[in-house]
């Protein structure tokens, strides 16, 4: 008789989840956030399948060199965005009648900047990344590299436009189409381009995904957004946007450097094969950072209209983030050797502890991510810059010092120490702010937002 309550507990738990989660999704802030988390999950699963196919179809040296080229391309695309993606999340919800002009302007700025950034990189590639000098020496590679950077800049910018338009549900659709296309292409091109099929599949899939999405955004979503919100909000002041972007840009560059330059450090100090082992570990753990970024982006959009509730909204989003990130980080720590074995035995033997350290680093990373997004709502861009700069200096500096003597474990330790130190300082700062009662945001709404935009 005493066993019956225990037998009923799983059923009661499941029934509770079935009731609780749909009610959670009726809140737009949570619905948008979980749509972005779903997008990250789709990208993670299909990305894991992509790199599994790549690892089993190409030699480790080829995987390492292609991943380094992709990292360089992603860094340049991020630089060329001028952090306009975050500006889209912050200002597009309240852009009103200026939404179309705002979106087209940031598209054109990002694409033009991508051309300038890649041209400058290729001109001096022999100085800062000698292993990639072939990109400059072969015109076809140079052109493909430039187009890929432009496409990646547009691809990421479109995610932010969809978030700002409160259409984040389309982000997993775009990500899913891109990831599936990339996976199919890496298998198809393994025989045709045995040395560059990985990078080619990445670039071709991007081009095929970006064009339909930009047509949907400019042709349908923005006109509908203008009809729903135009009379209710104050269009963004371009001087305010410029100050916001300028303050956020340096912080964004620091985060981008942390995520994309460590593979280049590993490549230069330990070789292409070692970079393959590190890069695939990073691919596995990156979705956990995406969870925090997704929750934070939804917080920013919602707090534009509910600035007075910033403290409550931030606490709720941090709690939702922890419910996902902490269990996943622990699971990755435990299952690391078995997950990496999917790529091949060499990946498991060389990358297990790197993956474990990178997974642990995502737990303190939750707090820094949420702090940064709260600062964006408040337009405290100096705080954004300071947090990301400290994190980048620690991660890159420790990686440069420790990779050569300690191998890939040094890169994992660099991430864990960097995130933990910054999170500790951020925690003290947040506690002091809460005690002073000064955790409030700045609203851009002229009147109450339409009912579909309310978060509470």
pLDDT digits (tens, 9 = 90+) for 46-73: 888 898 899 888 888 888 888 889 988 9
Dump pLDDT digits (tens) for 92-146: 887 777 888 889 988 999 999 999 999 999 998 888 788 888 888 888 889 999 9
The ranges of the chain with pLDDT < 50 are 1-8, 443, 445-456
In sign, the C-alpha dihedral spanning 427, 429, 430, 431 is positive
CB atoms within 10 A of CB 128: 12
pLDDT of residue 215: 92
pLDDT of residue 230: 59
Rounded to 5 degrees, φ, ψ at 265 are -65, -45
Both structure tokens of 322:
């922890």
Find, among 115, 29, 102, 82, the residue nearest to 317 by Cα: 29
Distance CA 287, CA 293 (A): 10
Distance CA 274, CA 61 (A): 8
Q: Tell me the C-alpha to C-alpha distance, in Å, between residue 147 and each of 114, 141, 187, 202.
A: 9, 10, 22, 11
Is 0.75 surpassed by the pTM of this model?
no
Distance CA 298, CA 290 (A): 12
CB atoms within 10 A of CB 395: 27
Q: Tell me the C-alpha to C-alpha distance, in Å, between residue 243 and each of 240, 246, 255.
A: 5, 5, 19
pLDDT of residue 447: 39
Both structure tokens of 412:
């994992």
């Amino acid at each position: 008789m005493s066993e019956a309550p225990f037998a009923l507990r799983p059923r009661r738990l499941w029934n509770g989840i079935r009731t609780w989660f749909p009610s959670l999704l009726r809140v737009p802030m949570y619905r948008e956030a979980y749509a972005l988390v779903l997008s990250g999950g789709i990208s993670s699963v299909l990305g894991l399948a992509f790199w599994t196919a790549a690892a089993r179809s190409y030699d480790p040296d080829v995987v390492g060199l292609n991943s380094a080229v992709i990292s360089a391309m992603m860094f340049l695309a991020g630089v060329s965005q001028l952090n306009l993606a975050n500006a889209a999340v912050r200002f597009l919800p309240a852009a009103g009648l200026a939404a179309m002009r705002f979106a087209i302007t940031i598209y054109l700025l990002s694409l033009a900047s991508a051309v300038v950034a890649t041209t400058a990189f290729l001109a001096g590639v022999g100085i800062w990344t000698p292993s990639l000098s072939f990109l400059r020496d072969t015109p076809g590679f140079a052109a493909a590299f430039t187009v890929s950077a432009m496409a990646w800049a547009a691809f990421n910018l479109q995610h932010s436009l969809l978030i700002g338009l409160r259409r984040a549900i389309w982000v997993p659709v775009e990500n899913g189409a891109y990831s599936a296309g990339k996976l199919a292409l890496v298998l198809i091109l393994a025989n045709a381009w045995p040395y560059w099929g990985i990078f080619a599949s990445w670039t071709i899939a991007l081009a095929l995904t970006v064009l339909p999405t930009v047509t949907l955004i400019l042709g349908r979503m923005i006109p509908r957004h203008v009809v729903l919100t135009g009379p209710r909000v104050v269009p963004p002041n371009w001087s305010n946007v410029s100050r916001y972007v300028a303050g956020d840009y340096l912080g964004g560059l620091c985060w981008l450097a942390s995520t994309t330059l460590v593979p280049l450090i590993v490549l230069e100090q330990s070789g292409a094969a070692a970079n393959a082992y590190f890069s695939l570990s990073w691919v596995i753990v990156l979705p956990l950072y995406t969870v925090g970024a997704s929750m934070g982006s939804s917080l920013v959009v919602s707090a534009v209209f509910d600035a007075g509730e910033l403290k409550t909204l931030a606490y709720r989003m941090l709690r939702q983030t922890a419910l996902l990130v902490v269990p996943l980080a622990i699971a990755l720590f435990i299952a690391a050797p078995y997950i990496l074995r999917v790529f091949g035995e060499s990946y498991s033997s060389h990358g297990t502890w790197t993956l474990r350290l990178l997974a642990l680093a995502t737990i303190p990373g939750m707090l820094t991510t949420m702090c940064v997004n709260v600062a964006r709502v408040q337009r405290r861009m100096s705080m954004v810059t300071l947090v990301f700069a400290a994190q980048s200096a620690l991660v890159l500096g420790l990686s440069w010092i420790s990779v050569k003597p300690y191998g890939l474990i040094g890169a994992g330790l660099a991430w864990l120490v960097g995130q933990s130190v910054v999170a500790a300082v951020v925690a003290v700062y947040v506690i002091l702010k809460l005690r002073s009662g000064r955790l409030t945001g700045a609203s851009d709404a002229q009147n109450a937002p339409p009912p579909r935009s309310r978060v509470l």
